[in-house]
């Protein structure tokens, strides 16, 4: 498959995934200050409960870190929020009015929930700018052509995103020539082109240099306020650097929640981590 075909296929996926033909996005109602309500969520795999009556609330504009040993249910939790996995029981609301369990995976993305998977999936042979344009295409008309100019608003957003991700100086560079960390930031930038209200990020700093880890902490911190961000991460230095509200998961439930210092000294948390 040549590059253009791949790009077009990717673009088509973005369109189908983005539900581009639909009307303007209906924003979640966060007038009560909460953007995500998960209550009593249970997910069973052959009788094994990956999530066990889990309850979790995320504030609008908050940056939340979710930690927990392997198998705690962190990825399953993200799968439930994005519609990839349907819970056996419980409720999941995006703001006051959007019932996530009534929506398909593409509809959830369209409603304003973006997800960054662990592995960067940028178009290596295309420039940073082209990657961002492609990501913006999800919101454009199906009949718009790939190389048609962006709207002024999209162009403005692209400049903002280049600044947030500090990729201005590399805008004409093929994505394949970026460092691992820069590729991760580009992919976060691609998600930001869609301006999601809620951004889910799974283990963003795995494989990064210490400087890249620090920069990623700054980047995600800078997103809070305009976006709500939920970060799953193992790297404790990174979690400490972000140092906001932390949720510790264990065996499909919330074990502890609070500031870094609080959960760090919680005997139940210490026990779970020592047991790893």
The residues binding ligand ADP (CB under 6 A) are 45, 50, 68, 70-76
Give the shortest CB-54-to-Mg ion separation in angstroms. Answer: 15
Number of residues that bind Mg ion (CB under 5 A): 2
Stretch that binds Mg ion, among 26-34, 66-74, 110-118, 175-183 (CB under 5 A): 66-74
- Residue with smaller CB distance to ligand ADP, 100 or 122: 100
Query: Does 75 engage in binding with Mg ion (CB under 5 A)?
Result: yes
Q: How far is Cα 125 from Cα 128, in angstroms, rounded to an integer?
A: 9
Separation between Cα atoms, residue 203 and residue 201, nearest integer Å: 6
Candidates 72-80, 187-195, 242-250, 257-265 — which segment interacts with Mg ion by CB under 5 A?
A: 72-80
Kindly tell me which of 175 and 232 has the beta carbon lying closer to Mg ion. 232
Query: How many Å apart are CA 93 and CA 28, to the nearest integer?
Result: 9
β-strands 34-45, 48-59: how paired?
antiparallel
Distance CA 119, CA 192 (A): 17
Q: Is 176 helix (H, G, I), strand (E, B) or coil?
A: helix
| Nearest approach, Cβ of residue 67 and ligand ADP (Å) | 9
DSSP classification of residue 117: -
Per the DSSP assignment, residues forming a β-bridge with 150 are: none
- Residue 34 touching Mg ion (CB under 5 A): no
End-to-end CA, the chain: 44
Q: Which does 216 bind (CB under 5 to 8 A by kind): Mg ion, ligand ADP, none?
A: none
Least spacing, CB of residue 276 vs ligand ADP, in Å: 11
Which secondary-structure segment (H or E) carries 80? Answer: helix 74-81
Taking the least distance from each CB to Mg ion, the nearer of 75 and 182 is: 75
Contacting positions for Mg ion (CB under 5 A): 74-75
């Amino acid at each position: 498959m040549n590059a253009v075909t791949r790009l077009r296929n990717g673009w088509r996926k973005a369109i189908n995934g983005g539900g581009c033909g639909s009307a303007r996005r209906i924003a979640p109602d966060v007038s009560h200050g909460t953007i995500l309500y998960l209550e009593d969520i249970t997910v069973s795999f052959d009788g094994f409960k990956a999530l066990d009556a889990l309850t979790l609330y995320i504030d609008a504009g908050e940056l939340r870190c979710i930690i927990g040993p392997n198998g705690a249910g962190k990825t399953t939790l993200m799968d439930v929020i994005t519609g990839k996995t349907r819970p056996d029981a419980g409720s999941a609301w995006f703001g006051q009015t959007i019932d996530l369990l009534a929506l398909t995976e593409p509809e959830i993305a369209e409603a304003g929930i973006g997800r960054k998977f662990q592995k960067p999936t940028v178009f290596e042979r295309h420039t940073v700018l082209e990657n961002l344009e492609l990501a913006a295409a999800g919101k454009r008309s199906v009949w718009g052509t790939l190389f048609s100019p962006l709207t002024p608003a999209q162009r403005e957003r692209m400049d903002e995103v280049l600044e947030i991700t500090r990729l201005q100086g590399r805008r004409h560079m093929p994505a394949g020539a970026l460092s691992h960390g820069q590729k991760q930031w580009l992919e976060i930038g691609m998600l930001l082109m869609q301006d999601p209200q809620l951004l889910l990020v799974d283990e963003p700093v795995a494989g990064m240099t210490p400087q890249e880890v620090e920069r990623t902490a700054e980047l995600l911190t800078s997103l809070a306020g305009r976006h709500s961000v939920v970060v799953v991460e193992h790297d404790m230095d990174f979690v400490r650097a972000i140092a906001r509200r932390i949720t510790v998961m264990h065996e499909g439930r919330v074990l502890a929640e609070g500031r870094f210092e609080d959960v760090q000294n919680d005997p139940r948390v210490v026990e779970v981590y020592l047991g790893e």
